[in-house]
A and B are shown apart, each in its own frame.
Chain A
Amino acid sequence: MTHVAIADQPEEEEHHPTSFIAKYIWSQDHKVIAIQYTIVAMFVGLVALVLSGFMRLQLGFPDTFSFINPNTYLQFMTMHGMIMVIYLLTALLLGGFGNYLIPLMVGTRDMVFPYLNMLSFWMYFLSVLVLLASFFVPGGPTGAGWTLYPPQAILQGTPGADWGIVFMIASLAIFIIAFTMGGLNYVTTILQARTHGMTLMRMPLTLWGIFTASLMGLLAFPALLVSAIMLGLDLLAGTSFFMPALVSLGEQLDHTGGSPLLFQHLFWFFGHPEVYIVALPAFGMVSDVLSTHARKNIFGYRMMVWAIVIIAGLSFIVWAHHMYVSGMNLNFGFFFATTTLIIAVPTALKVYNWVLTLWRGNIHLNTPMLFAIGFIFTFTHGGLSGLFLGNVIVDVPLADTYFVVAHFHMVMGVSTVMVLFAAIYHWYPLVTGRMLHEGMGKIHFWLTFLGTYAVFLPMHYLGFLGVPRRYFSMGDTAFMPESAQTLNASISVFAIIVMVIQVIFLVNLVWSLKNGPRAPRNPWGATSLEWQTPVMPPAHGNWGHALPRVHRWAYDYSVPGAAEDFIPQNVPQEGSGRPDDGGQEEVKA
């Protein structure tokens, strides 16, 4: 017998949930799941943002706030890092944007395994609950740093060594299961459910970014799972995978023969690809935002795709650049410095191509575009400071100082978040049918862009000075001039301003839901499929009676001779101008 592809089944056969619970809670619709992911991720992200505010208060104005002490500081720091990297960025970019955009952009009705997709969200939700529960267990959450390095992570002397670390490990394990369910769906959907005519190279770069990142996540998260399991056994069962014989706070422990460095290798074998799991979807989305609002095709599309693939591949053989001064065999430094700096080439090409996309464009300077430009600026800065840290000998004086903190915040904390904002302003009309308020958007952009730069540019220089990261307070340190504390205070002030003005964004999100101007269909004049659904916002099943057919790549902007400055992907090659439903009349072959 021949199998009928689910995506090809006529729309009537689709099951339309009607009750509120089936529609919004136990939903299997990728769009609802995406929104669920987004809301939960943004909520924990806010928690993590507040935690970083506490840290900045202590660093800027030491010994002023009695609830911040050496223990709680480390706990805030750890939870801030862990939440931001894993529970916000990974979940929002792949669980949120990935879920929403993949089926729409490849032209299918839903993920290939909708039930698994729903499970993925609820597992994620559970992992967040376990994570948040660790704030309320005796001893509080773990303060081992987001890297959770043993032996320290599971020994007395580190906050949360009794329960917090157990909850952390459990939460990570659950998250990894959730991610695996989601990731399998994303990858399989892109590989197997693309509609007629959607070749790999016709996909928008957003899809390439999400696809590659999901695949990387599927291969990298196992390393975290493996290290979490072994760390958990060392803690709970007294094994010695990572624990050598040692004396902890005057007490002889029973462990023997384990290797702390082994954990670091495993952790960073996950940890480095994780950086790109976050960065690649952002690279993809910003490419589409730039191209759409510059009314110009993305420059060097093929190079952009290959760069994504090459970056993904290389990112698995650079992990030990986080470990140059970890005590591993020093000769590894040569190899890892070389591979790390080679990654700079495809990454730099991406930056050039983004800028060249603007060149000879017709640039609409609206909020998404401004955020995209802010991304290019901050990413260039953060990427270049990464060259310092990747170049093994230059890393030696800078490792574990504020230079590192400034660098990864510029890359993951600022530029990636710039893309998130650009993407939210760009796709909000598609999701809600309303436009976001442009005035609030612009204020939000300017304060965020300038504020974060004022936070993280000077921070690099504290690193040059040698100011150590993960310090609760500096005390009297001879090599730190008085002015460094003044600088720290000013960084704190800017940081808190940036945090507070995110309220504008939240207000905008909520206010526009009801009061925003109604979005016209395809308001930005975009070519990719998600904007070509019969109704906007897309209904359950996305495509009405028949799936769209794809006739061209995703970047036919300002095609010479065409009447309009864009031609959607579902418009046949001969035709031009606005899409008619002609593209959709051709039901299955």
Chain B
Amino acid sequence: MSFLDKLTEKSWEPAGAVAAATAAAGPASRHAAQKTALGIFLVIISVVFLLFFLTFITHSQYPGFEALAGEPWMPFSNTSQLWLNTLFLGLSSAALHAALVGARRGMANFTILAMVAAVFFAIQFVLAQLWLWRDLTAMGYGLAENPANSYFYLLTAVHGLHLLGGLVVLFRATLLLWQGQGLERIQASLSLCATYWHYLLGLWLVLFALMASSPETYQTIAALCGLEG
């Protein structure tokens, strides 16, 4: 039954197909509700970052905006540190996925190992990001130096905070499992965490691409969005 059908139901008439289906279905499960909520939440985060990106692209077209990449001496012309951080986050995401698979197959020890690995790599990622901040600041690319720098710190900080929020949830699940809770109990939580992690990895890749792009790329994107000058 399509959404359009649901929105055009003549509900005052005797029960039709839509009403019959709903009468049978009733309220959804808790896990389904959680999945819906997480989906909406991810949309909200996407909106936040989309707005940041839009202002970033707009800013990049103003005079005095010095992108962090493009010329050989710019810090992100060498992206090796960024790739390393990406590796950490990617490993964390993969480990979490493995944990989920493990939980579905009832492999408790494997699951807990994978979860610990996920937490470990996520923390590694955050630490590596902080390291990157320190390096940049030491090189003279401080927060208030230039809008491009400000954006880098701001976006990575917001991304990092979201990851830390997720870590709290994951940590709780790990703790529950550690204390001998059943796999079924945490499976739902784990699957939500995994979705969230993959999303944050994707988001980081977009951030990465944006930050390491050259001014010409910004100009092209700005032109595509109609945000020139």
Interface residues of A (CB under 8 A from B): 1-8, 108, 112-113, 180, 184-185, 187-189, 191-202, 218-219, 222-223, 225-226, 229-230, 233, 237-241, 254, 256-259, 262, 266, 269, 297, 301-302, 305-306, 309, 547, 549-553, 555-556, 573, 588-589
Contact = CB atoms under 8 A, between A and B. Distances in A.
A254 to B, nearest CB: 8
A113 B25 contact: no
B80 interface: no
A198 B7 CA distance: 13
Contacts of B18: 199, 201
B144 interface: yes
Contacts of B12: 297, 301, 552-553, 555-556
A192 B33 contact: yes
A258 B147 contact: yes
B44 A180 contact: yes
Q: Is the interface of B mostly helix, strand, loop or mixed?
A: helix
Interface residues of B, number: 49
B30 A259 contact: no
A296 to B, nearest CB: 12
Contacts, number: 168
A278 to B, nearest CB: 20
Nearest to A106: B27
Contacts of B44: 180, 218-219, 222
B27 A5 contact: yes
Contacts of A553: 11-12
B37 to A, nearest CB: 5
Given A6-B30, A112-B30, A192-B28, A262 B150 contact: no
Interface string B175-187: 0000000001000
Q: What 7 A-B pairs come out closest when comparing CB atoms?
A: A3-B29, A257-B64, A7-B27, A553-B11, A201-B11, A238-B144, A192-B28
A257 B65 contact: yes
Interface in B1-45: 6-12, 14-15, 18-19, 22-33, 36-37, 40-41, 43-44
Nearest to B66: A257
18 contacts: A1-B184, A4-B30, A112-B37, A187-B37, A188-B37, A189-B33, A192-B32, A192-B36, A219-B43, A230-B154, A240-B146, A241-B59, A257-B62, A262-B59, A301-B11, A302-B10, A309-B7, A552-B11
Nearest to A572: B15
- Which of B30, B52, B143 has most A Cβ within 10 Å? B30
Contact of A241 (B8, B47, B64, B147): B147
Contacts of A257: 59, 62-65, 146-147
